[in-house]
Structure 1
Amino acid sequence: MNTQAPTHQPSRITRAIALLEHLAPAWFAMVMGWCGLSLAWLRATDVLGDTALGLGLVGSLFALFVFVLLCISCVVRLTFHPNAVAADMRHPVRHAFMATLPISIMLLATLGIHLFWGTDRTLDTAMTFLWCVGSILEIVATVWVVERWLNNAENGGLQWSTFTPVFFVPVVGNVLAPLGGVSIGLEAWATAQFGVGVFLWLVLQTLLFVRLAQAGPLPARLAPSWFITLVPPSIGGLSLLQLDAPLTLVWMAWGIGVFFLILASTQVNIIREQPFSMANWGMSFPLAAFTSLTLRMTQAPGGAWLQMPATLLLAITSLLILSLTLSTWRGLRHGQLLVPEK
């Protein structure tokens, strides 16, 4: 007679909660990617009409769904794994991804403003409030990240070996402020926040090249982060248009974006050789941002020749983000993503 006590398998909920220990803040890059793709399709409405508008709306709803799901997961993670959250905040690289939450809020608010502004006063108030929350949190996140860099290396200060384009992430949220802020009547605040982003971009871009000279190439697994260098000039160009800046400055921003796109593209073979990880999502929002700027420049004087390249970029970006989404789903099903970092 078998007298062994039956073994109890952990429930699905228990296993899911355990896996959330490894849910790094970089997961909000999915929201940023889908928001960027939605903005790109909305920019294409002048050419593709209601089809582009519909795809932009679908992408926005999917981005909102992922955002809500991640927020709930983060609350659960903070409740059951507070030490893991604290470890992310102390990490020399992952801490910069804390800014992806307020950036996601600002992007979702910006999408709402583009799609629904002026249709209902209550909805306008809600979108203004959401944008303001994201904007303030982004400033707080930026100050927190930069303040860390003022410390010595032992207390989280800058180290050449850990300096990567990931540190551009806090800059992104500040540079994109005019995209939503101008439309809701907060142009002065949005312009000031944009100035903070431009200043930090110039500083960090200089430091990045110094880092390459001092510490050598980035690790292969961080190769996708090179695409992040596309974001400041791309979003900066769109923001300059929103602020009615001289078109010369916008073309300069677009040209800088082209340079960094070519530079980042040299890393594609290295990226393909690496196993899929959430780092690959670092390509999504940057490419979508540059696509949006290119689509917008097709309407500028002398920009008609960009129509075909812009359409091609939109197709490539859409396929990339769909591929990343499917790879993420497969990675979750096969247990390859929510695992300890190697």
Structure 2
Amino acid sequence: MEKQAIEETVLKNKLQYFPISFFASVMGISGLAVAFERYEQVFKLSGRIGLILLIAVYLACILVAITYSFKIIRYFPAVVSEINHPLKANFFPAFSISLLLLSTGTINYQEKLAFGLWVIGTVVHFILTIVIISRWITQKYQILQVNPAWFIPVVGNIIIPIAGIKFVNIEICWFFFSIGLFFWVILFALIFYRVVFHDPLPKQLFSTLFIFIAPPSVAFMAYVKMAGHMDSFARILLYIAWFFVILLLSLPGYFFKLDFVVTWWAYTFPLCAVTIASITAFDLLKVPLFGGIAIGLLILTTLVVVTVFSKTIYALFHNQICVPE
């Protein structure tokens, strides 16, 4: 009876343990929607998979935002605890990145809505960037607290120019691109040092290693948008992203043995980003190999998103997530 009472209490308070990292799911599905939109444009297909996924993303974003808003109202101390957590705090900018990705996906359908999402996403993300970098400077962190999720707050600025080039002066886009690129280099050195020379990441964070793929992929897309062509620097960014895909896919035993956690969504957006980058590269250069890579990555990414989504639904209904750690 006591065990049953505890389980009922946990279920009743599930909202209290709803993690901010759930916005990573919105990022992943948004990335897949944009990937299919881009694929359908470049390969001249008449399908509407991208649009269907975009609608699903809006529903997912609204659902996650409303749920987390209720958590703020009812369990504000739990939200403060997440904000002050050295890992969880880095997932708050996933909300602003989700808005930026929605803007990117919406721009071909409703430009005014896309602009509004872009403005809100940009302002919120820049504020979070300042807040989190200030915290890094003023607070003391241990090297074992560093992990790939630290990319999200600052390197996320690279996403801003992708849709922003349509709305504002290009110099504003270069400003955000420069911030993201600069901190990508710094944080990559720091995180790689932590991964190689210190204790392994906790198993709950193994999936965040896939975040290594995202910065060069997104930087490639933003750069070619602003430069208007694919030059040597763009190639370097793309090939770095491909290298990390090869590296991480060469370690299947490192990932397949893991139990599901919400951070599995870290697999999704980076793979979406490198898929979109590959489709863009094929569109610019028309190299058949690039087209084959793009199609292969789109299939892989779709399978990963579907798998993680299915496991998330299963875990929700079997009381495996949104519970005390």
TM-score, normalised via structure 1 length? 0.88
Alignment of 1:70-89 (within 5 A): 70-89=64-83
Q: Could you tell me which amino acid in structure 1 is paired with residue 35 of structure 2?
A: A
- Specify which of 29, 34, 41 is matched with residue 34 of structure 1: 29
Q: How many residues align?
A: 318
Q: Could you tell me which amino acid in structure 1 is paired with residue 277 of structure 2?
A: L
Aligned to 2:53: 59
Contact 2:82 2:89 survives alignment (8 Å): yes
Q: Could you tell me which amino acid in structure 2 is paired with residue 203 of structure 1?
A: I
Aligned to 1:49: 45
Alignment of 1:153-164 (within 5 A): 153=140, 158-164=141-147
Single out whichever of 166-175 and 273-282 deviates more from structure 2.
166-175
- Specify which of 146, 159, 166 is matched with residue 176 of structure 1: 159
Aligned to 2:289: 305
1:235 aligns with 2:218: yes
Contact 2:11 2:319 survives alignment (8 Å): no
Contact 1:17 1:80 survives alignment (8 Å): no
In the aligned structure 1, how far is the partner of 2:223 from the partner of 2:191? Answer: 24
In the aligned structure 1, how far is the partner of 2:218 from the partner of 2:116? Answer: 22
Single out whichever of 54-63 and 108-117 deviates more from structure 2.
108-117
Contact 1:178 1:239 survives alignment (8 Å): yes
- Specify which of 84, 99, 114 is matched with residue 105 of structure 1: 99
Shift of 1:140: 0.7
Contact 1:175 1:239 survives alignment (8 Å): yes
**Which of the two has higher C-alpha Rg?**
1
Aligned to 2:315: 331
In the aligned structure 2, how far is the partner of 1:321 from the partner of 1:24? Answer: 19
Q: Using a 3 Å threshold, how does the CA distance of structure 1 residues 134 and 17 change in structure 2: closer, same or farther? A: farther
Contact 1:172 1:231 survives alignment (8 Å): no
CA RMSD between the two structures:
2.0
Shift of 1:152: 3.8
In the aligned structure 2, how far is the partner of 1:135 from the partner of 1:333? Answer: 35
Deviations 1:116-155 (A, max 9, x none): 33xxxxxx2x3312211110110111111111111242xx
In the aligned structure 2, how far is the partner of 1:16 from the partner of 1:24? Answer: 15
1:127 aligns with 2:114: yes
In structure 1, the gaps of 5 or more residues are: 1-8, 118-123
Shift of 1:108: 0.8
Q: Could you tell me which amino acid in structure 2 is paired with residue 19 of structure 1?
A: K
Single out whichever of 267-276 and 29-38 deviates more from structure 2.
267-276
1:167 aligns with 2:150: yes
Contact 2:30 2:53 survives alignment (8 Å): yes
Aligned to 2:123: 136
Shift of 1:213: 4.4
1:295 aligns with 2:255: no
In the aligned structure 2, how far is the partner of 1:73 from the partner of 1:163? Answer: 28
Contact 2:155 2:181 survives alignment (8 Å): no
Shift of 1:50: 1.4
1:272 aligns with 2:268: no
Q: Could you tell me which amino acid in structure 2 is paired with residue 261 of structure 1?
A: V
TM-score, normalised via structure 2 length? 0.92
Q: Could you tell me which amino acid in structure 2 is paired with residue 60 of structure 1?
A: L
Report the 3-state secondary structure (helix = DSSP H, G, I; strand = E; otherwise coil) of the residue aligned with 1:274. coil
Contact 1:220 1:271 survives alignment (8 Å): no
Single out whichever of 269-278 and 225-234 deviates more from structure 2.
269-278
In the aligned structure 1, how far is the partner of 2:169 from the partner of 2:102? Answer: 17
Deviations 1:226-266 (A, max 9, x none): 11011110010010111025521111111110121122224
In the aligned structure 2, how far is the partner of 1:76 from the partner of 1:186? Answer: 38
Shift of 1:279: 1.2
Deviations 1:256-296 (A, max 9, x none): 10121122224432222111111111000000000000111
Shift of 1:109: 1.3
Aligned to 1:150: 137
In the aligned structure 2, how far is the partner of 1:55 from the partner of 1:213? Answer: 40
In the aligned structure 1, how far is the partner of 2:283 from the partner of 2:117? Answer: 30
In structure 2, the gaps of 5 or more residues are: none
Shift of 1:68: 0.3
Deviations 1:91-117 (A, max 9, x none): 111111111111111111121113333
Aligned to 1:187: 170
Q: Using a 3 Å threshold, how does the CA distance of structure 1 residues 334 and 221 change in structure 2: closer, same or farther? A: same
Report the 3-state secondary structure (helix = DSSP H, G, I; strand = E; otherwise coil) of the residue aligned with 2:201. coil
